[in-house]
Structure formats: structure tokens, C-alpha cells
Chains A and B, each alone.
Chain A
Amino acid sequence: MYVILWFANQPHRKKPKAFYSDIQNILPMSVEILLLIALASVAVLSSLAVLFNKDNFYSALFMSVTLITVATVYALFGIQPVFVLIAFVFAGAIGIVTVALAATYRTAPESQVSALWGIPVIITASFLAFFSYVCVKRQAILHPQLATGTIQFELQNFLANPEYILLVLSLSSLGILLMLSALKIVGGPAE
């Protein structure tokens, strides 16, 4: 839709050379945006599969797919450290524990979706769709090539700041302490 509106608003008096130059400028961006929209669609569809699946085991698997897709969006923007963090911690460690829990407590599949909750979900989704449509239409007509920013994240710049290192160390210590406490609680005598 973005490309079509852009072409529709181009003045016809433009010289062919400048016109093709504009096309070359916009096409790579639109391919990236299409890829982003495809990833976002996969994330939403797999989360819908979590909602509508009766079996917790498959829901946990679809949840892992959703989180990996979210991490892939970060990779698409060139922020690989966050991709590694989400993929290892959420889809890896906690995702596997969740799948194992779902497999351990696997019961007869039973629907866990309440039809009444569909009403507020549909209302909110309608609001979102309407305002996003208005926003995209306005943007495509008024400022078709407006870019709000470029991501220039470098892990080296982040690691060069000692305050961030202290933050990471403190959070690692918190995690280790919590894991030790959890192990002590779970490994204790059963009541």
C-alpha cells in the first residue's frame, strides 16, 4: 500500500532519470519493511496459536516461535546482541523449561479460551487497525520518505562504559542468588 500511494502521489512532470533514481531509493526500504511485516505477522499468528491451542505443550512450542520471531526483528535492525539475549534466555533457557513443564503436566486437551474475552480484544484491535490506517495514509500522502532515525548501536560503545558493566554484574549476581534460593526451596523436603 505504501509503494502504491507513493507512486500515486508522484508528479507526472518528473524527469525519467530522477524518477528511476527515486524508485531505486525506495525499493530496498520497502523490501525491508515487507520483511518486517512478514515477521510481525508470524509473531502475531504464532501467539494466536498459543491462545487457541488446547494443549499446553504445543502452546509452549508456539510461544517459543513467537519469542524467536521477536528476536529476529532485532536481528533485522542489526542489533544482534539483543537477538542473542532473547534467543538464549527466553527461547533457550526459560522456553525449554516451560516446554518441559508443559510436557510434565500434560493433561487431556481442554479448551482454555473464553468467548467473552473476545469482545474487548476485538474492540481494541479495531481501534488499533483504524488509527494505524489513518496514520499510514496521512504519512504516505504528506511525507512519503520521512525517516525518523537510524539505528547505530555498537556493543563496544556499550561495554566501554563502566556503569553498564556494573549493571550487568549486579543483575548477574541477582540472578545467581535467585537461582540458589529457588534450588534451596525446590530441593528441600516435600510438605
Chain B
Amino acid sequence: MQIDLISTLAIYITSFALLLIGYAVALSSKDLVRLLISLELMFGAVFMSVLPLFSSISNTAFGITIVGVFTSSCELLVLITAIIMFDRKNKNIYTSSVTIGGDR
């Protein structure tokens, strides 16, 4: 399938929309699990925006995608570990507790 302007436009609009919704979920989240979900949505938007690169520099684009997949999965793994540690320490996973802890 060729990438023309219409498909590029559809890809970028979807990517921006996903990123925007990811930001909205992150900013309005009240617990850490929803924050994790919003991060994954944002990474989905990033992967969507890499797609048009495959038409000009396909090998480099695939390398960028692999780096993105590895680093984002490691980041999410660290966040999952942090959520578990946070629950052990505070007995809840509310983001309001994070704010109070940071203020101290």
C-alpha cells in the first residue's frame, strides 16, 4: 500500500488524537493504574507516528521502532514495579497520596 497524503494525514490525526486522549487520561487520573494505562496510550500514539518514516528510511524506522518498543516496555515495567512498591508502603495507589508524599 502506498502512503499518500490522505493516509499520512489519517495516521497523524489518529496519532495526535491518541496522544491527546492519553494526556487527558493522565491529567484526570486518580489512581496509578490509570496513569499506567494512559502511558501505554501515549506510546501507542508514538508508534502510530513512526509509520510514515517507513516510506523513506525503512531500516532506520524499524530500528527506531525497536528502540521505542524496548525502552517503553522497560519504562512500563519500572512503573508497574513502582506501583507495587507504592502499594506496599502506602496501602493505596491513589495519585493524591503521591502529591502528599512529594510535598513532605
Q: How far apart are A183's CB and chain B's nearest CB, in angstroms?
A: 9
Interface residues of B in 1-58 (CB under 8 A from A): 1-11, 13-14, 16-18, 20-22, 24-25, 27-31, 33-34, 36-38, 40-41, 43-44, 47-48, 51, 54-56, 58
The CA-CA distance from A150 to B4 in the complex, in Å, is 9
The CA-CA distance from A143 to B66 in the complex, in Å, is 35
The interface residues of chain B, by DSSP majority, are classed as helix
Q: How far apart are A147's CB and chain B's nearest CB, in angstroms?
A: 5
- Contact between A121 and B20, CB atoms less than 8 A apart: yes
Interface residues of A in 29-43 (CB under 8 A from B): 29, 32-33, 36-37, 40, 43
- Contact between B28 and A114, CB atoms less than 8 A apart: yes
- Contact between A148 and B8, CB atoms less than 8 A apart: yes
Q: How far apart are B14's CB and chain A's nearest CB, in angstroms?
A: 4
- Contact between B40 and A132, CB atoms less than 8 A apart: no
The CA-CA distance from A106 to B92 in the complex, in Å, is 11
The interface residues of chain A, by DSSP majority, are classed as helix
Q: Which of B17, B37, B51, B69 has the most CB of A within 10 A?
A: B37
Interface residues of A in 41-98 (CB under 8 A from B): 43-44, 47-48, 50-51, 56, 59-60, 63, 66-67, 70, 73-74, 76-79, 81-82, 85-86, 89-90, 93-95, 97-98
B88 within 8 Å of A by Cβ?
yes
Contact residue among A37, A113, A136 (Cβ-Cβ distance under 8 Å from B28): A113
A4 within 8 Å of B by Cβ?
no
The CA-CA distance from A135 to B54 in the complex, in Å, is 22
Closest A residue, CB atoms, query B27? A117
Interface residues on A, range: 35 or more
A7 within 8 Å of B by Cβ?
no
B89 within 8 Å of A by Cβ?
yes
| Given A51-B21, A174-B74, A190-B88, A151 contacting B54 (CB threshold 8 A) | yes
The CA-CA distance from A179 to B76 in the complex, in Å, is 11
- Contact between A32 and B1, CB atoms less than 8 A apart: yes
- Contact between A178 and B17, CB atoms less than 8 A apart: no
- Contact between B44 and A105, CB atoms less than 8 A apart: no
B85 within 8 Å of A by Cβ?
yes
Extra pairs beyond A2-B6, A132-B13, A164-B59 (9, CB < 8 Å): A29-B4, A60-B37, A73-B11, A81-B62, A102-B33, A114-B28, A132-B9, A149-B3, A185-B81
The 29 sampled A-B contact pairs (Cβ below 8 Å) are A29-B2, A33-B6, A43-B18, A44-B18, A47-B17, A48-B21, A51-B25, A51-B28, A56-B33, A70-B18, A85-B69, A94-B80, A101-B80, A101-B83, A110-B30, A112-B30, A113-B28, A118-B24, A128-B17, A148-B55, A150-B55, A153-B58, A158-B62, A164-B59, A164-B62, A167-B63, A174-B74, A182-B81, A191-B89
